[in-house]
């Protein structure tokens, strides 16, 4: 081991102890022959004093070399600082380490931006290209730690409530959630494709048929959308589903989890109203002109959280005829085709009448003007689900081809069920007071869906394309990035020059 203690956790109680620390040089200041170093690790910072006569000979020779971001292991004694040197802003602010020896574990080039300062003007491209350095910053570290605490809380809470965490496939078949899908070509089945899931929707419902009556998952979801706002092509949901429940059951467990989550991870925040108010879609549109109203009474209070449920959405809406020429019946679902109609409108759905008036059991949860989640009670009877697809104008063949597995599964005793998914990234961002979800994802993509650090998406070799039976169209204009001349061949395990 390179260390016995964490830098940021040392306090006066450790006075006169000999400790071994390991971390990065945050800053270096020189006062004549004495050098001061702030040493940083995941726990925080501690001040180290390098006094030549207290250091061993080997270390003395190295002092001049030390620069920010060098990696050190050092031994020293914990000493109290004099009163006027106390730094009240950090836990270790009353002590410092008088170093006896140190070793340089690794050197560092000068970073492309300052690590120890929160400059907001660093270009995002640069931050993402050197994300591993960006992650060393205090603010990013705190965001990622908050994200971890939220995920841990969620796991503990739902385990406690009897939910089982189950993974569902990422190589899947399309599921209609209203976005374009990412395709993955199959090598073994020429001309066929997997689809990356927009959500685990179908699998979680099939788990209900499989008898796992309380499921959850911290699920990665993929949507190939044009980048609007701060959307990410892959993002994380807390996805859950329950059997033998009604709308009130789902709403009540979600309220309980969110209230307790906020109390546990962000106690400085206050929830405006408990139980969360409910507003119908019609009322939201009339009063706020949006179905994700920001209901905060004081929009300047950074700690105020206005959580609310939006309910009673129309099940179907008219499709844009220009987009839908010659296709369908002119109706599409507003949220989720698997949702059930409200019980009082079920007959209308089965008879395919008053289509525009059918309301769904869908419930969305909004927080300060963001939609942070949504779900519904599902159609567990095959006929009702089939009617949804018929209303959307799908022919029987198409319904069978796309959703036959769901209809068939529901013929084997599907229990009544319902669920919800939260956008985890958004919740973390709001609790971290970050305007953008990229700030709470360790390795996000840029606004136009690139990863400047790994340089993805990137070219692949003609051999790889051939293996998955893909030929790029001749008129494709490929912009060559400097890196794209050499491509990594995962089969050969090396970089090869593209012919
Ligand atoms: N699958 C839905 C979504 O991703 C959530 C749900 O209905 O449970 O928005």
- Tens digits of per-residue pLDDT, 73-107? 999 999 999 999 999 999 999 999 999 999 999 99
Q: Is the pLDDT of residue 324 over 70?
A: no
What does the pLDDT read at residue 329? 66
pLDDT digits (tens, 9 = 90+) for 251-292: 999 999 999 999 999 999 999 999 999 999 999 999 999 999
Which of 219, 237, 242, 380 to probe ligand 1 with, by most ligand atoms within 8 A of CB? 237
Closest ligand 1 atom to Cα of 241: 8
Confidence tier at 426 by pLDDT (50, 70, 90): very high
How far is Cα of residue 223 from the mean position of the Cα atoms in its chain? 13
Residue 493: its pLDDT value, please?
46
Q: What percent of the chain has pLDDT over 90?
A: 84
Is the pLDDT at 497 greater than 80? The verdict is no
What is the 161 CA–ligand 1 centroid distance (Å)? 20
Nearest atom within ligand 1 for CA of residue 201 = 1
488 pLDDT band, cuts 50/70/90, is very low
Residue closest by Cα to atom 1 of ligand 1: 201
Ligand 1: centre distance to CA 342 (Å): 17
Mean pLDDT of 66-79: 98
pLDDT of residue 187: 97
Select the more confidently predicted residue: 479 or 202: 202
For the residues 15-36, what does the mean pLDDT come to?
97
Please say if the pLDDT value at position 489 is more than 80.
Answer: no
Tell me what pLDDT residue 491 has: 47
Looking at residues 307-322, what average pLDDT do you find? 89
List residues near ligand 1 (CB under 6 A). 177, 199, 201, 336, 374-376, 419-421
Beta-strand pair 304-305/270-271: parallel
C-alpha 215: how far from its chain's center? 19
Q: What does the pLDDT average to over 57-70?
A: 96
Predicted model pTM? 0.91
**What pLDDT digit, counting tens, does each position of 342-395 carry?**
999 999 999 999 999 999 999 999 999 999 999 999 999 999 999 999 999 988
| Average pLDDT of every residue of the chain | 92
Query: Taking 90 as the threshold, does the pLDDT of residue 321 lie above it?
Result: no
pLDDT value of position 476: 76
What is the C-alpha separation between 278 and 276, in angstroms, rounded?
A: 7
pLDDT digits (tens, 9 = 90+) for 201-260: 999 999 999 999 999 999 999 999 887 778 899 999 999 999 999 999 999 999 999 999
Whether the CB-CB separation of 38 and 83 falls below 8 Å is answered with no
Nearest to 145 by CA among 216, 42, 69, 217: 42
Average of pLDDT values for 405-422?
Answer: 97
In this predicted structure, the answer to whether residue 328 has a pLDDT above a threshold of 80 is: no
- Read off the pLDDT band of 487 (50, 70, 90): very low
Residue 178: what pLDDT? 75
Ligand 1 atom at minimal distance to the Cα of residue 199:
4
Residue nearest atom 8 of ligand 1, based on CA coordinates? 420
Per-residue pLDDT tens over the stretch 38-47: 999 999 999 9
Q: What is the mean pLDDT of residues 47-67?
A: 97
Tell me how far CA of residue 144 lies from CA of 52, 119, 134, 438, 456, in angstroms: 38, 18, 12, 11, 23
The yes-or-no verdict on residue 158 having pLDDT over 80 is: yes
């Amino acid at each position: 081991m390179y260390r016995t203690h964490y830098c940021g956790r040392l306090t006066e109680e450790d006075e006169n102890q000999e400790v071994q620390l390991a971390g990065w040089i945050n800053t270096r200041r020189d006062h004549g022959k004495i050098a001061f170093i702030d040493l940083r690790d995941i726990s925080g910072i501690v001040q180290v004093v390098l006094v030549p006569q207290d250091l061993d000979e080997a270390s003395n020779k190295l002092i001049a070399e030390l620069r920010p971001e060098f990696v050190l292991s050092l031994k020293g004694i914990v000493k109290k600082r004099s009163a006027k040197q106390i730094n009240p802003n950090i836990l270790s602010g009353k002590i410092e380490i008088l170093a006896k020896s140190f070793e340089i574990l690794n050197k560092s080039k000068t970073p492309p931006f300052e690590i120890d300062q929160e400059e907001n003007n660093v270009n995002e491209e640069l931050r993402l290209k050197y994300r591993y350095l960006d992650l060393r910053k205090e603010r990013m570290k705190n965001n990622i730690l908050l994200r971890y605490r939220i995920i841990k809380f969620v796991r503990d809470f739902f385990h406690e409530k009897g939910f089982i965490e189950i993974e569902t496939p990422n190589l899947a078949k399309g599921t209609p959630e209203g976005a374009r899908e990412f395709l993955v070509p199959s090598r073994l089945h020429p001309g066929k494709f997997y689809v990356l899931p927009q959500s685990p929707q179908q699998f979680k419902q099939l788990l209900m048929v499989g008898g796992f009556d309380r499921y959850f998952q911290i699920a990665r979801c993929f949507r190939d959308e044009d980048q609007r706002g701060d959307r990410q092509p892959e993002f994380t949901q807390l996805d859950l589903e329950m059997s033998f429940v009604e709308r009130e059951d789902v709403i009540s467990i979600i309220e309980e989890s969110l209230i307790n989550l906020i109390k546990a991870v962000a106690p400085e925040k206050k929830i405006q109203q408990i139980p969360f108010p409910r507003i119908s879609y019609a009322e939201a549109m009339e009063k706020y002109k949006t179905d994700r109203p920001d209901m905060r009474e004081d929009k300047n209070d950074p700690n105020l959280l206005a959580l609310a449920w939006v309910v009673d959405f129309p099940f179907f809406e008219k499709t844009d005829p220009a987009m839908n020429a010659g296709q369908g019946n002119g109706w599409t679902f507003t949220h989720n085709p698997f949702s059930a109609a409200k019980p009082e409108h079920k007959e209308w759905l089965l008879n395919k009448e008053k289509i525009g008036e059918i309301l769904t059991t869908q419930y969305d949860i909004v927080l300060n003007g963001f939609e942070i989640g949504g779900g519904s009670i599902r159609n567990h009877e095959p006929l009702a689900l089939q009617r949804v697809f018929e209303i959307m104008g799908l022919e029987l063949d198409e319904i069978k081809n796309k959703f036959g597995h769901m209809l068939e599964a529901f013929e084997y005793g599907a229990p009544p069920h319902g669920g919800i998914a939260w956008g985890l990234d958004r919740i973390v961002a709001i609790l971290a007071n970050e305007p953008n979800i990229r700030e709470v994802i360790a390795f996000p993509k840029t606004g136009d869906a690139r990863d400047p650090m790994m340089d993805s998406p990137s070219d692949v070799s003609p051999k790889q394309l051939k293996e998955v039976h893909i030929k790029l169209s001749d008129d494709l204009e490929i912009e060559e990035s400097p890196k794209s001349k050499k491509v990594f061949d995962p089969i050969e395990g090396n970089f090869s020059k593209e012919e």
